[in-house]
Amino acid sequence: MTAETEGALRAHLLRSDRQEDICLATYRPSTGTTRRTSLLRQVHLPEPGEREVHGNATITGDYVLRVAAAAASAGDGVVLLHSHPGGQGWQAMSGPDVDTESSYANLVREITGLPLVGMTLAGHDGAWSARHWDHSAAADITPTYSENVRVLGPELRVTWNDQIVPVPGRPSTLIRSVASWGPSRHADLTRRSVLVVGLGSVGLDIAVRLAATGITRLGLMDFDTIKLHNLDRLIGATATDAWLRRSKLDLAQRLAAQNATASSPVIDSFDLSICEPHGLAAALDYDQIICCVDRPWPRAVLNLLAYRDYIPVIDGGIAIDVFADGSGMRNATWRSHVLYPSRPCMSCIGQLDLGAIAADQSGALDDPAYITGNGQPPGAAAGGDTPAESANVAVLSVSAAASLLAQYVSLNVAPGGLGEPGPLQYLLSTHTLDHLKAARRPACPVEALTGFGDQAIRMTGPHPAAEHERQYRDSHSLHPGLRIARYLDTTLSWTRARLIADAKRRLGL
């Protein structure tokens, strides 16, 4: 849910007389490959006579019918929320809780076609807990408990169901990291999954640093192949990678695995574009996304996702401005910002030209004639490598990565109680950092789809460039000599990975 929705719920559910209270809201599903999320959309407070507060709060059937009918007409589901005024952390269900929710579960599902969602707010520390009442053939229906509840504002706040997602172990390698933000914050931070989309110089650096921080579940997505002209920026890539047509994904997976400090890190690799349906579905399984792509189409997909599916997207990039005659650098600019409902979208802050999406989808941005005619493509450049992308150098791409990671820390750790700072811009020529005052456009077509989840357009489709790259790397298309060299290289990498695993075991990590 958004922090705004949470504010409305807290105002109703946390009473000054310390009694528990109850209300209803509506939600929409947002479905990924393995995860389903319910996006809270609208709070429907009880009208006079629709609920009674007498120690335990109860609601009338008419109230449920009224909200279920409103939900059904909008294609939404129903959420039943109540408070435990003295509660702390993820809440277990009391007998009356189970009775109330189970008694309305079938009725609500009949009317809306969607399972009832039950939620509890713990008054002591503001922790949320949630469950879905799915259809069950058994007479006694039991809820499916959620793994977490996320509240999205300047600070991303997450309550964990420790039974499903246990507190991760803390190896001695992480002593300095834990000391920076405390053990409980570390246990929370490292369980928050992160997907890095685009593994050029900026994305690769970010992925490796997240792995080193102990992030338990890290996703990596890129379809591109390492080329010779990447070697001056992809730190860790070698001439062998370009020669053997290795993917940027392989490189990032290798380096992230080598640097991972979590006890049991899970690093998922997606040889996909976020513009492909499977790429987007995979993204919907993550708690947050870092956008390191500079093409308009993938940026538009991620921009929409941030609002439509309530997944914060940390976005930014670097642009190097050179004199037209090629005689030198005029300036370099790196920007970073977090996209989510209540912040302006990429388009509103001038980091995405909606008009260029069609050109990208048609492949026109790969056409040298288009590039010559239009100069740089619109949007931020995050260290990519196709001819259409901006120039970038290794000594500066690290600044763009740092800027994005600082936004990540602010969003997740909130130093000094402050969350993400809004859009930032750093100008190299004068070394000035600007807080940009970008406003949301009243009629922004992206923000209009806030919380629409599965019901909104997806903007995905077949991606010929991704298909071409995957084919180019396919071993069947390789010369036999290259195939043998690739096999040897893989064996070397495998041996090194085994050695690292053995060292960790011997060191008790």
Contact positions toward Zn ion, by CB under 5 A?
Answer: 345, 347-348, 444, 446-447
Residue in 174, 259, 170, 168 with CA at minimum distance from that of residue 211: 259
Smallest gap from Cβ 444 to Zn ion, in A, equals 3
In contact, 322 and 329? CB cutoff 8 Å: yes
Q: What sections of 37-92 are H helices per DSSP?
A: 61-74
Scored b (16 or more CB within 10 A) or e, 473-492 reads beeeebeeeeeeebeebeee
- What does each C-alpha distance from 478 to 14, 482, 485, 493 come to in angstroms? 65, 6, 11, 20
Pairing of strands 424-427, 329-339: antiparallel
Residue with Cβ nearer Zn ion (444 or 478): 444
Smallest gap from Cβ 461 to Zn ion, in A, equals 22
Residue with Cβ nearer Zn ion (257 or 444): 444
Q: Which amino acid is at 329?
A: M
Residue with Cβ nearer Zn ion (369 or 439): 439
Smallest gap from Cβ 154 to Zn ion, in A, equals 18
Q: Which amino acid is at 146?
A: S
Task: Tell me the two tokens of residue 503.
Answer: 């060292």
Smallest gap from Cβ 452 to Zn ion, in A, equals 14
Smallest gap from Cβ 446 to Zn ion, in A, equals 5
Smallest gap from Cβ 287 to Zn ion, in A, equals 23
Residue with Cβ nearer Zn ion (262 or 352): 352
Distance, in Å, from the CA atom of 209 to the CA atom of 128, rounded to the nearest integer, reads: 30
Residue with Cβ nearer Zn ion (70 or 354): 354
Smallest gap from Cβ 2 to Zn ion, in A, equals 16
The sign of the dihedral angle between the CA atoms of 56, 57, 59, 64 is negative
In contact, 298 and 197? CB cutoff 8 Å: yes
In contact, 461 and 273? CB cutoff 8 Å: no
Smallest gap from Cβ 302 to Zn ion, in A, equals 13
Smallest gap from Cβ 40 to Zn ion, in A, equals 21
Residue with Cβ nearer Zn ion (131 or 308): 308
Distance, in Å, from the CA atom of 232 to the CA atom of 219, rounded to the nearest integer, reads: 25
Task: Tell me the two tokens of residue 176.
Answer: 């300095």
Smallest gap from Cβ 346 to Zn ion, in A, equals 7
Neighbours of 134 (CB within 10 A): 13
Pairing of strands 266-270, 313-322: unpaired
Residue with Cβ nearer Zn ion (324 or 443): 443
Residue with Cβ nearer Zn ion (89 or 350): 350
Residue with Cβ nearer Zn ion (361 or 450): 450
3-state secondary structure of 424: strand
Distance, in Å, from the CA atom of 90 to the CA atom of 2, rounded to the nearest integer, reads: 19
Residue with Cβ nearer Zn ion (11 or 448): 448
Helix (H) or strand (E) holding 410: helix 394-413
